[in-house]
């Protein structure tokens, strides 16, 4: 019988570089956004085995990714494997959280490249509750809201909307926001 395997797909023509402080899922979401497709579609097309459906926040908060998949991603993006290994989270703990945390100023203002917002890996650390740069408490977003996003552009849109609402709300109403999800 013929082995029904597609020939190895060529690397992506262009792909965003990962930032050292970025979470792996954030980078993957940016790659998908670059090609205007969903992360799911990107994975299907390249037979990438990423178990992101087990994460409450979907692809943005990836469980620890196995070495062969990291190798495959590195080849597609023409990167050293180490660049991607370095941005893996060491634990998959955050995949179980019902809410995720972020600092809006850090998310939208990347000091290295203002045109490239990214989700920081440190926000997936259960010990971290305050922004390391701004000293302000991290704010939360429902994991389910992130799970619905198809790529990182959609994530930014959703967070942008939440931020607009949050900054226009009276302080006393803020806590009600989460109970709606
Ligand atoms: Zn910050």
Going from the Cα of 80 to the center of ligand 1, the distance in angstroms, rounded, reads 28
pLDDT of 173 reads 52
Q: Which long-range contacts (CB under 8 A, 24 or more apart) does 153-157 make?
A: 153/33, 154/33, 155/29, 155/60, 155/119, 156/107, 156/108, 156/117
Going from the Cα of 88 to the center of ligand 1, the distance in angstroms, rounded, reads 20
Q: Which residues contact 70 (CB under 8 A, 6 or more apart)?
A: 81, 84, 85, 88
How far is it, in rounded angstroms, from Cα 127 to Cα 122?
Answer: 9
Going from the Cα of 35 to the center of ligand 1, the distance in angstroms, rounded, reads 28
- Helix H or strand E encompassing 140: strand 139-142
pLDDT of 91 reads 87
Q: Which residues contact 69 (CB under 8 A, 6 or more apart)?
A: 48, 49, 50
pLDDT along the chain (181 residues), means of 10: 61 94 98 97 94 95 95 97 95 94 95 92 95 96 97 97 86 51 43
Quote the pTM value: 0.88
Going from the Cα of 110 to the center of ligand 1, the distance in angstroms, rounded, reads 10
Going from the Cα of 159 to the center of ligand 1, the distance in angstroms, rounded, reads 14
Q: In angstroms, how far is the first alpha carbon of the chain from the final one? A: 51
How far is it, in rounded angstroms, from Cα 142 to Cα 33?
Answer: 21
Going from the Cα of 152 to the center of ligand 1, the distance in angstroms, rounded, reads 19
């Amino acid at each position: 019988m013929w082995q029904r395997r597609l020939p190895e797909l060529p690397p992506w023509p262009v792909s965003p570089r990962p930032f050292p402080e970025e979470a792996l899922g954030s980078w993957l979401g940016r790659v998908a956004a670059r090609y205007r497709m969903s992360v799911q579609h990107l994975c299907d097309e390249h037979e990438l085995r990423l178990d992101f459906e087990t994460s409450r926040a979907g692809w943005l908060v990836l469980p620890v990714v196995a070495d062969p998949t990291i190798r495959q991603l590195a080849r597609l993006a023409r990167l050293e494997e180490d660049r991607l290994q370095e941005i893996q989270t060491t634990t998959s703990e955050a995949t179980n959280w019902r809410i995720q945390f972020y600092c809006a100023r850090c998310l939208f203002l990347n000091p290295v490249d203002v045109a490239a917002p990214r989700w920081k890996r440190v926000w997936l650390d259960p010990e971290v509750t305050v922004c390391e740069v701004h000293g302000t408490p991290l704010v939360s977003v429902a994991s389910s809201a992130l799970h619905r996003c198809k790529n990182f552009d959609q994530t930014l849109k959703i967070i942008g909307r939440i931020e607009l609402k949050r900054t226009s709300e009276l302080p006393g109403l803020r806590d009600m926001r989460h109970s709606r999800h």
